[in-house]
Structure 1
């Protein structure tokens, strides 16, 4: 069992502070700017930009701004059953876990997506949010168990990822990505897969399908127009990729979304 309770975004709040208390819910904290100071079970923890802090339920914690200045962070609060806690390595213990996700930008976007879904009363929001949370926990668990990679490899992967985020609607070629880091195409694919767990092209498709889902539910664009807009000039290929990513065809997803709107959404 997995239940999303709430998602928050703290943006440079002056005099931010939380009192010492035992928390009754699991908490994920992703710091996106500056530093934040915590005391957890009597131990000081400094989380800085790029850090993920896991606070399992039952720990005692207090928090405040670091002396270096204000900070920004996302916070996800959720409940989970014993089966989920046992499956996720950083939820098994009774203490905090602090680590740097290698795929920081992807993780940040997942936090951001959950925050936006929690603020916008759109159809499928609860369903999508639960799926994003499950994917996020799985992604973080995989990274947590993988050995560390060198800073240079991390830098290469982040540079590739940022380029894909900015150009995902275009016809991106592996040679273009290879030229970004001045390495061979094979090395580029290999290093990106080593750092993120998947290929650059798979990530490109993920970005496109996330946008396609949004357009199907929240625009009047036709499926063929969405396909072309996202760089799929063969609509049948778009259908295949969409179904592979979501288990629905675009038309099924659009119809189900309209039905959910008419019935008032998920119960």
Structure 2
């Protein structure tokens, strides 16, 4: 488990002054889009979309604000607590910053958004929940780093499968279809997809659908039932359960927020 000192989600163009991150704890930064620049020990690191920057304690670092244009990033500052020591995970034993291009951005975004929500809402026991979620996130990142850079052919396969899903996500998508898409066996396609993205094919499709549903609930005039049908869910109660699990709210609650704004 971890003690969390600060969690931030920032969007847009920041001011021109640099911001010191502090050297008394770990800092984990993930760039969702755009780019961010950081300096430490006279060096400059530029992080772009889907890149992680992990800075261990003892290294004074600063973010160069206003240097990356429009962007969105998330930052968590933390330290291990209790029986969780720096020797528990190789990532925590690092002495130098690590910049890492993740191939599982959808999974990491899902986990980070839940952490941000918990930290912002500050419901009962939120600090314990955030610490547990961050532990899961750090372990997920460490596993990906342990496996090392993926072969270019694997990344090409994943991108082709993601593109196929983008084109057909409203319909049922099977491992047979994705196997045919990249000309490999269905089981290999499914195993490769999960190994690289951290998600099963079904989980990835649900995430894509819920992202679209969330947007439609906020910006369209369609009812929850209409959106459920549009996205391929014949059972609206199942749609509600999946949406609640992945977004943290019921579709009706998001739709009500839109109505209130109008």
TM-score range, shorter chain: 0.5 to 0.7
Structure 1 residues 67, 47: closer, same or farther in 2, change over 3 A? same
What is the deviation of 1:127?
3.9
Aligned 8 A contact 2:13 2:70 in 1 = yes
**Which residue is equivalent to 1:26?**
26
**Which residue is equivalent to 2:222?**
none
For 1:83 and 1:155, the matched residues in 2 are separated by 37
What is the deviation of 1:159?
5.9
The root-mean-square deviation of aligned C-alpha atoms, in Å, is 3.7
Map 1:187-206 → 2, pairs under 5 A: 187-196=188-197, 199-201=200-202, 203=203
**Which residue is equivalent to 2:252?**
none
- Determine whether 1:94 maps to 2:91: no
Matched position secondary structure for 1:84: coil
Structure 1 residues 157, 37: closer, same or farther in 2, change over 3 A? same
How many corresponding residue pairs?
A: 218
What is the deviation of 1:181?
4.5
- Normalization by structure 1: what TM-score? 0.66
Q: Mean alpha-carbon deviation: is it higher for 157-166 or for 86-95?
A: 157-166
**Which residue is equivalent to 2:226?**
none
Structure 2 unaligned spans of 5+: 208-234, 246-262
**Which residue is equivalent to 1:63?**
63
Aligned 8 A contact 1:35 1:66 in 2 = no
Structure 1 residues 157, 68: closer, same or farther in 2, change over 3 A? same
Matched position secondary structure for 1:86: coil
What is the deviation of 1:61?
0.9
For 2:168 and 2:124, the matched residues in 1 are separated by 28
For 2:178 and 2:124, the matched residues in 1 are separated by 36
Matched position secondary structure for 1:87: coil
Structure 1 residues 78, 67: closer, same or farther in 2, change over 3 A? closer
Aligned 8 A contact 2:29 2:76 in 1 = yes
**Which residue is equivalent to 1:116?**
117
